[in-house]
């Protein structure tokens, strides 16, 4: 995973071999996006001895003394209040890191750093805002934010975030909203001035297991659009078995997925655009899904309108 030093002296950076640069960058990334890092994290990720990991922490501390401090009670290094990144990473790499883990090792062995549900991504959230959100998720702490809403304008809220979601057109965070007392999606690019609040015992009703839209699994059967020619090619493109693609998705993400894939969700496959090569065989499975309105052509049973 390539990285470019920002603030360190050129003379110091030229002395680092690439493996050590990777370890120093790893320390910084854990600090910035999780708020903490331990020597064992370095040992586990890179297979170095504890003594080598200790040297890496000493080098990073010398390079950026204000970026971290040692918490003897938690036996870990924590992010400093005056933290300033020394390494510059492309946003795309950061998002891959958060959703798939650090490095280019075997995909099966990589673990995501933050709970997430990812499709593809188009918008570009501010990295400092994203870092506050991911630290709040990792540390299980509430987050005070200034949020810009299309419906209600700018307002301050306290949320309890627990997962990132990539909808294909934007990144948002799934969180409990203490203002509306319900679970909602907050688009990260609309968040300003995030402040992580002190740790507190999170009530059961604010935890992810209480989010029905997150825990509910929707089973979809997607087939070639009946009104498009050459359905056999669509079967090949999507690896369908017996002419059907069967998916199991969280209710909290299913509407975004169907829109991203241009799946016609109208009852009688009524959408005519050539982009609609797929059709949701049974739109009734979307009943009760809060983001079903994003699904192309979907309408509530008996409503008579999209």
CB atoms within 10 A of CB 112: 14
Domain that holds residue 170: 116-208
Same domain, 169 and 229: no
Domain count, the chain: 3
CA distance 195 to 200: 15
Among 185, 208, 231, which residue terminates a domain?
208
Same domain, 55 and 30: yes
Same domain, 124 and 195: yes
Same domain, 14 and 55: yes
Same domain, 131 and 190: yes
Q: Is residue 100 part of a domain?
A: no
Q: Is residue 171 part of a domain?
A: yes
This prediction's pTM: 0.77
Same domain, 254 and 192: no
Q: Are strands 4-5 and 87-88 parallel, antiparallel or unpaired?
A: antiparallel
Same domain, 182 and 266: no
Q: Is residue 107 part of a domain?
A: no
CB atoms within 10 A of CB 106: 7
Among 208, 229, 250, which residue terminates a domain?
208
Q: Is residue 51 part of a domain?
A: yes
Q: Is residue 282 part of a domain?
A: yes
CA distance 188 to 170: 8
Q: Is residue 195 part of a domain?
A: yes
CA distance 10 to 54: 23
Q: Which of 222, 298, 211, 278 is nearest to 251 (CA)?
A: 211
Same domain, 19 and 56: yes
The one-digit pLDDT tens for each residue of the chain (306 residues) are: 445 455 443 434 456 788 899 999 999 999 999 999 999 999 999 999 999 999 999 999 999 999 999 999 989 999 999 999 999 888 878 877 777 765 544 443 456 667 766 554 556 789 999 999 999 999 999 999 999 999 889 999 999 999 999 887 788 999 999 999 999 999 999 999 999 999 999 999 999 999 999 999 999 999 999 999 999 999 999 999 999 999 999 999 999 999 999 999 999 999 999 999 999 999 999 999 999 999 999 998 776 554
Q: Is residue 299 part of a domain?
A: no
Q: Is residue 300 part of a domain?
A: no
Among 54, 89, 124, which residue terminates a domain?
89
Same domain, 83 and 152: no
Same domain, 19 and 84: yes
* 66: CATH: 1.10.10.10
Burial of 45 (0-12, 13-18, 19+ CB in 10 A): middle
Same domain, 162 and 178: yes
* Angstrom distances, CA of residue 287 to CA of 163, 175, 223, 254, 271: 24, 22, 19, 12, 20
């Amino acid at each position: 995973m390539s990285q470019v030093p920002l603030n360190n002296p050129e003379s110091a950076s030229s002395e680092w071999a690439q493996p050590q640069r990777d370890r120093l960058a790893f320390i910084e990334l854990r600090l910035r996006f999780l708020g903490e890092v331990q020597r064992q994290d370095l040992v586990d990720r890179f297979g170095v001895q504890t003594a080598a990991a200790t040297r890496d922490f000493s080098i990073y501390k010398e390079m950026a003394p204000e970026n971290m401090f040692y918490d003897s009670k938690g036996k870990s290094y924590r992010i400093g209040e005056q933290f300033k990144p020394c390494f510059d990473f492309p946003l795309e790499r950061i998002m891959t890191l958060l959703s798939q883990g650090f490095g280019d090792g075997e995909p099966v062995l990589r673990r995501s750093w933050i709970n997430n549900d990812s499709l593809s991504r188009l918008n570009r959230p501010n990295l400092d805002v994203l870092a506050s959100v991911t630290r709040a998720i990792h540390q299980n702490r509430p987050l005070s934010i200034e949020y810009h809403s299309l419906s209600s304008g700018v307002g301050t809220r306290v949320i309890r975030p627990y997962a990132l979601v990539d909808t294909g057109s934007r990144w948002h965070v799934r969180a409990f909203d203490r203002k509306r007392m319900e679970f909602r999606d907050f688009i990260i690019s609309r968040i300003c001035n995030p402040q992580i609040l002190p740790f507190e015992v999170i009530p059961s009703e604010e935890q992810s297991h209480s989010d029905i839209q997150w825990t509910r699994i929707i089973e979809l059967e997607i087939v070639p659009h009946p009104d498009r020619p050459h359905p056999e090619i669509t079967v090949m493109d999507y690896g369908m078995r017996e002419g059907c693609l069967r998916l199991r998705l969280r209710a909290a993400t299913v509407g975004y997925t169907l829109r991203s894939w241009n799946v016609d969700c109208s009852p009688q496959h009524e959408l005519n655009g050539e982009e609609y090569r797929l059709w949701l065989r049974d739109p009734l499975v979307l009943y009760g899904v809060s983001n079903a309105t994003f699904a192309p052509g979907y309408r509530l049973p008996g409503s008579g309108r999209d």
